[in-house]
Amino acid sequence: MRTRKRPPSHPGQIIKGLYLEPFSITITDLAQALGVCRKTLSKIVNERSSITSDMALRLSRAFDTSPELWLNLQRNYDLWHATHNRNDWKNVQPVGIQVNAPA
């Protein structure tokens, strides 16, 4: 598997760059359309909060995408940062549990 050197984009950056700015939609207007408070959406757009399952469902309806798209964007962002910002996970050793193959 190829290792990414550059971090993936935060889903908030995607919302801002592909939907808000090009279509001149305000955070307030989008928050209202999504049925969430402005502060919640603002935190996501400003990369201070993560996409939840509920938000992924809302975004998928609003932008005619899949909820998996939004959850995968968040997962990729989180995993890249966990991999590159911490090293203590590298000290974990295999537990040594053997799984028996079906007979």
Domains, the chain: 11-84 (1.10.260.40)
pLDDT digits (tens, 9 = 90+) for 66-103: 999 999 999 999 999 999 988 888 888 888 887 777 76
Least confident interval from 22-26, 50-54, 56-60, 84-88 = 84-88
Least confident interval from 27-31, 32-36, 77-81, 85-89 = 85-89
Angle at 37 between CA 57 and CA 59, to 5 degrees: 20
User: What is this structure's pTM?
Assistant: 0.84
Q: Please check the confidence at residue 4 and state whether its pLDDT lies above 90.
A: no
**Per-residue confidence at 62, pLDDT binned at 50, 70, 90?**
very high
50 within 8 A of 78, measured Cβ to Cβ: yes
Whole-number pLDDT of residue 99: 75
Mean pLDDT of 15-26: 98
